Chain A
Amino acid sequence: MNNQGCILKVDGLSVFFGQSQIIKNISFEARKGESLAIIGPNGSGKTVLFRALIGSLDYTGKIEWAPGVRIGYVPQRIDLDRYLSLTLEDFLSLKTKVLHFPRAVINEALKMVHLPPATLKSSLNNLSAGQLQRGLIAFALIGSPDILLFDEPTAGVDLPREEQIYETLHHLQDKQQMTVIFISHDLNLVYRYATKVICLNREMFCFGSPQTALSPELLDKLYGARIAHRHFE
């Protein structure tokens, strides 16, 4: 990639599940330190886009990462089996051990997401939805990623906590020039934290700064209902 500061370039990306096309021909790029929001209704392919970006799904088109880029991924949720006897500490150690990072990075990551050290000893199964999400973010932050893909949970995390998470990520962006791409269901957060926004409903409806890209007409078209403007006009 010769484009300076460009960390990810997506060109003509499509994803098929069998016969049905989940994502249709989308193109965008993300630069260092940028904060990119992806919005769209349920089933619009947002999570699929992330999974294609990390290489978990087959796709057509081009996904080009800057050389040597470290990706942190925060999934919307994980399916925890009750037979999985992992504590939060075990879970975070999985990454440090596979990648040969020192033990100390676990505590650093934990501090960043405001989890008390005592939660390390809790079983993943016993964490609250909010704690688990922080745990997942801590996992993603281990090893100082260049880019964080953050799939916001749809339920279980209360708003003040969610804002605290975004503040933390924002702070990390300033400090480490980390790029963040986040999937959000809350347009308030998009207006506040995103430098650019992608509107996705299988196809890409918009790409640009939230102020210019998100017109009421576009939101109507994207969500197929007049839900959004009262909030944002």
Chain B
Amino acid sequence: MELFFSLSLMMAVAIASGLVGAFALMKKMTLASDAISHIALPGLGIALLLKFNPIIGGAAAILLGALLIWTVERKTRIATETIIGVVFSASLAIGSLITPSEELLEVLFGGFNGFDSAEWLIGIIMSLIIISSILFLKERIALSLVSQDLAKTVGINNSRLNLFFLLIFALNVILGLKFLGVLLMGSLIIIPAAVSKNLSWNFRSDLILSAAAALFSVAIGFVLSSNFDLELGPTIISVAALLFLLSVFFKKSSAN
């Protein structure tokens, strides 16, 4: 039964990550996605020090980080990548300093201590919120990516949509923190989406393949890690990376 709970939650998170990742990649948020997950580290560290639920600390830090990135993108002309680069390494440095060293490894690479039923329920609900938001907003987000001006002419508020996507993204990262950890969660969002970009032929196939690649990586990673006693997070990401490698060979010849 515990296996069912864990696996179902992880699969829900995987589908959410695949969908979010498909858009994150189009938005060129590869670096931002790493940064957002790294921002969790100081929050996790503080929570562990003060002995409250680390996920809450991480979540608070991530939401703050997402708002920060959104504001910076909107208000300044400093290259977002520069700021993200700084925030990213600073978070890692500060976070490593304040996180108790015996827990640092788990925070960085995730650990798998099962979920209690409340955590399971919250996780499933959050995954469903992410999945349904993305499915509901997919056309708007895509149009805003093609051209903010065209989006404007059909009544889309680009700035609000952008913030909403960042929050969905942040929520997704928070969800995966527990089993993938700070260093790897960004990868579950980006790598399956990158696999899909190599193979997809239209919008729908892109979303489906991206979710499928994430799901496959998590499922196979889970099986491998429990059978061969491997760390879960790194195993999942290794499977995803292998998929990416394979997908390169099947890349459409017409790709630009």
Set A81, A95, A125: member contacting B28, Cβ < 8 A? A81
A97 to B202, CA, bound (A): 16
Does A87 reach chain B (CB closer than 8 Å)?
yes
Residue B53 is within 8 A (CB to CB) of chain A in the complex: no
Closest B residue, CB atoms, query A149: B153
The answer to whether B139 touches A86, judged by C-beta atoms less than 8 angstroms apart, is: no
Q: Contact between A75 and B154 (Cβ–Cβ < 8 Å)? A: no
- What distance in Å separates the Cβ of B158 from its nearest Cβ neighbour in chain A? 9
Q: Tell me the complex Cα distance, A126–B254, Å.
A: 8
Q: How far is the CA of A85 from the CA of B252 in the complex (A)?
A: 12
Instruction: Verify B153–A72 contact, CB threshold 8 A.
Output: yes
User: Which residues 165-208 in B have Cβ within 8 Å of A in the complex?
Assistant: 196-197, 200-206
A56 close to B28 (CB less than 8 A): no
Q: Which residues of B contact A90 (CB under 8 A)?
A: 142, 202-204
- CB-based contact B152/A78 at 8 Å: no
CA distance A194 to B38 in the complex (A): 57
Q: Which of B149, B154, B202 contacts A95 (CB 8 A)?
A: B154
User: Which of A83, A87, A121 is close to B197, meaning CB atoms less than 8 Å apart?
Assistant: A83
For the complex, count residues of B whose C-beta is within 8 A of A. Answer: 30
B203 and A85 form a contact (CB under 8 A): yes
Given the interface contacts A72-B153, A75-B149, A98-B139, does A86 sit within 8 Å of B256 by beta carbon?
A: no
Contact (Cβ within 8 A) B256 A82: yes
A91 within 8 A of B: yes
Chain A: CB-nearest residue to B252: A123
**Across the interface, do A83 and B203 meet the contact criterion of CB distance under 8 Å?**
no
Q: Are A84 and B139 in contact (CB under 8 A)?
A: no
B94 at the interface (CB under 8 A from A): no
Q: Which B residues form the contact surface with A (CB < 8 A)?
A: 25-26, 28, 139-140, 142-143, 145-150, 152-156, 196-197, 200-206, 254-256
Chain A to chain B: the 8 pairs with minimum beta-carbon distance, closest first:
A90-B203, A85-B206, A94-B143, A97-B139, A94-B139, A87-B202, A78-B147, A73-B153
Please give the residue numbers on chain A whose beta carbons come within 8 Å of chain B beta carbons, in ascending order: 51, 54-56, 71-73, 75, 78-87, 89-91, 93-95, 97-99, 121, 123-126, 139-140
